[in-house]
C-alpha cells in the first residue's frame, strides 16, 4: 500500500505555526514511508477564500521545503460532492432540516438550562411529507444533516491517542450542507479522502470528535477510513493556548531571520520524546519520524527556543547556501569569520560593515591612546601575508608587557568599534593593512 497524506488548508488567511506543524508532520510521514503528500485547497467557502492566499500557501510550503506531490482544489470537485450527496440522501443517511438558527439556539439554551447536553433532537426526522411540502411552499430552504447510526459505538485506534470510543447517541447529527447549498467541512473532506486514496490523516486533537462523525460517513459510503493521528495542540511558552501562535506566520519567521531548517527542526520534534536538534538537512527528521514518539501532553512552542536553534542552524550554513543573501562583495572568508557570532544570516551585513568600515571607536583615555599608537607603529612592520593578529599581539605583549584583556580589548575596540565579536585572527586580515593602520591611528589620536 502506498502511503498518501494530505494537508488541507483553507485559503482564508496566511499559514500560522500550527498549520505549518500539521503540514510538516503529514509531509514527514509520507516521506519516511516512501509515499505521497498532497496539498488540498479547501476553498468551498467562496466568500472568504482568496486567490492571494492560495499563492501564499504554495510559497510558504516551498520556503519550508515541503513540496507537495500533487495539488487539488475542492472548488473543482463540486460535481463529485453532489453525486455522493444525492446517493446518501437516497439512502436515508442525509435528511433535510428546516429549523432556523434562532430556533436551534433556543433548543440548545433550553437543554443547557436543564443540565442536559445540547444534542439536536432530530425533530426534522419526524416531519411528514406534508410538513416538508408546506415548508417548501413557504420558501423555507432546508439545511442538510447526516444521520448518525446510534446502535453501535464509534471506535478506532488512534496512532497517537490510542483506542478511542464515542457514543453516537450523545452527538448531534452534523450539518453537512447549508440552506444556500454551500458545503461545510466534514462531508467533502471525507469524500476527498476516499477519492484521493488518503491512507493517513494527521491533525490536531481538536478534530477528534470530527473524526468520530466522519468514520460513520466513510462507512455510509462503503469505504474504509484512513488511519488517524491526532496530535496535541501547540501551546505558548507560558504553557497554555495562545492567540500569539495564530499570528506567527511564515512571513513573520522570514522577517525576523529564521531559517526554514530551524522551523522544521523545532516543529518536527516538540511534543515528542525525541530531542530538538539543529538539522540543516531534512533527512534526519524524516528518518526518525514515528508516531510512537508523540505524547499526549501539549506541545510547547517557545520563540526563544526557535531563535537559539536558528543560531545553531546558521552556524552550519556554508557560503554557497547563503551567498545570494549576503551583502555585495562579502567573501567566503568573511562569512566563515563572522558566522559563529550570528543569530541570523541578515546580521552578516552588520559585520561586513565593520570589516569594510568606516567604524567609530570609543573615546580612549591617554594611556590607552598611547598603547594604540604603539599598535599602529607595530602594524606598519607586520608581515600581513601570514597571521597578522597574532604577530601584532605578540609584538605588543613583548613591547608593553600587557596581556589578557588589557592587551586584546583596546585593539578590538579600535579596529571594530565593538567590545566582542568574531575571532580577530580571522577578522584582521579581512580589514587589511591599510584600514587597520588607519583605524589604530585614528583611535590613538595621531
The strand ranges marked E within 57-106 are 70-73, 94-97
Three cell numbers written together for 359 = 567604524
3-class state of residue 273 by DSSP:
coil
List binding-site positions.
243
Classify residue 378 by burial, with Cβ atoms within 10 Å: 0-12, 13-18, 19+: buried
Three cell numbers written together for 80 = 463529485
List binding-site positions for ATP.
243
Q: What is the Cα–Cα distance from 45 to 138, expressed in whole angstroms?
A: 27
CA distances (Å), origin 217, targets 1, 6, 84, 185, 190: 23, 19, 11, 13, 7
Three cell numbers written together for 421 = 565579536
Distance between start and end Cα atoms, the chain:
79
Three cell numbers written together for 20 = 505549518
| CB of 161 closer than 8 Å to CB of 205 | yes
> Is the torsion defined by CA of 6, 12, 15, 19 positive or negative?
negative
| CB of 29 closer than 8 Å to CB of 5 | yes
What is the CA angle 157-162-163, rounded to 5?
Answer: 55
Contacts 24+ apart (CB under 8 A), 57-60: 57/9, 57/11, 57/15, 59/250, 60/14, 60/15, 60/20, 60/249, 60/250
Per-position b or e across 249-260, b if 16+ CB within 10 A of its CB:
bbeebeeebbbb
Three cell numbers written together for 32 = 519516511
| Interhelix angle 17-32/51-64, nearest 10 degrees | 60
SS3 percent helix, strand, coil of the chain, rounded to 5, is: 50, 10, 35
Amino acid at each position: 500500500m502506498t502511503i498518501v497524506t494530505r494537508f488541507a488548508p483553507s485559503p482564508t488567511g496566511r499559514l500560522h505555526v500550527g498549520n505549518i506543524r500539521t503540514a510538516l508532520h503529514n509531509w514527514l510521514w509520507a516521506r519516511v514511508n516512501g509515499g505521497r503528500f498532497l496539498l488540498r485547497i479547501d476553498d468551498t467557502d467562496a466568500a472568504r477564500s482568496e486567490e492571494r492566499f492560495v499563492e501564499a500557501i504554495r510559497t510558504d510550503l516551498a520556503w519550508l521545503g515541503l513540496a507537495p506531490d500533487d495539488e487539488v482544489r475542492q472548488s473543482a470537485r463540486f460535481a463529485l460532492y453532489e453525486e455522493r450527496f444525492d446517493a446518501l440522501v437516497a439512502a436515508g443517511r442525509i435528511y433535510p432540516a428546516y429549523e432556523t438558527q434562532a430556533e436551534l439556539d433556543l433548543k440548545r439554551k433550553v437543554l443547557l438550562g436543564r443540565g442536559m447536553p445540547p444534542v439536536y433532537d432530530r425533530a426534522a426526522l419526524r416531519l411528514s411529507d406534508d410538513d416538508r411540502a408546506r415548508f417548501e411552499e413557504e420558501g423555507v430552504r432546508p439545511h442538510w444533516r447526516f444521520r448518525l447510526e446510534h446502535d453501535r459505538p464509534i471506535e478506532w485506534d488512534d496512532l497517537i491517542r490510542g483506542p478511542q470510543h464515542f457514543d453516537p447517541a450523545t452527538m448531534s447529527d452534523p450539518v453537512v450542507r447549508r440552506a444556500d447549498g454551500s458545503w461545510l467541512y466534514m462531508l467533502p473532506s471525507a469524500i476527498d479522502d476516499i477519492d484521493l486514496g488518503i491512507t493517513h490523516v494527521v491533525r490536531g486533537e481538536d478534530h477528534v470528535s470530527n473524526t468520530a462523525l466522519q468514520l460513520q460517513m466513510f462507512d455510509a459510503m462503503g469505504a474504509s477510513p484512513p488511519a488517524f493521528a491526532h496530535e496535541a495542540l501547540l501551546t505558548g511558552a507560558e504553557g497554555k493556548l495562545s492567540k500569539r501562535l495564530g499570528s506567527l506566520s511564515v512571513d513573520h519567521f522570514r522577517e525576523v531571520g529564521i531559517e526554514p531548517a530551524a522551523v522544521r527542526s523545532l516543529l518536527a520534534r516538540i511534543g515528542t520524546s525525541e530531542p530538538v536538534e539543529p538539522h540543516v538537512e531534512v533527512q534526519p527528521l524524516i528518518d526518525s519520524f514515528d508516531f510512537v514518539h508523540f505524547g499526549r501532553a501539549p506541545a510547547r512552542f517557545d520563540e526563544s527556543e526557535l531563535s537559539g536553534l536558528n543560531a545553531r542552524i546558521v552556524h552550519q550554513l556554508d557560503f554557497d547556501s547563503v551567498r545570494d543573501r549576503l551583502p555585495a562583495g562579502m567573501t567566503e572568508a568573511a562569512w566563515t569569520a563572522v558566522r559563529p557570532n550570528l543569530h541570523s544570516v541578515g546580521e552578516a551585513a552588520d559585520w561586513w560593515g565593520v570589516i569594510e568600515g568606516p567604524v567609530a571607536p570609543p573615546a580612549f583615555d591617554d594611556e590607552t591612546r598611547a598603547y594604540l599608537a604603539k599598535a599602529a607603529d607595530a602594524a606598519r612592520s607586520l608581515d600581513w601575508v601570514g597571521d597578522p593578529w597574532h604577530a601584532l599581539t605578540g609584538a605588543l605583549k613583548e613591547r608593553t608587557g600587557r596581556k589578557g584583556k588589557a592587551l586584546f580589548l583596546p585593539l578590538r575596540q579600535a579596529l571594530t568599534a565593538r567590545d566582542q565579536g568574531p575571532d580577530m585572527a580571522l577578522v584582521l586580515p579581512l580589514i587589511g593593512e591599510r584600514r587597520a593602520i588607519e583605524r589604530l591611528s585614528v583611535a590613538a589620536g595621531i
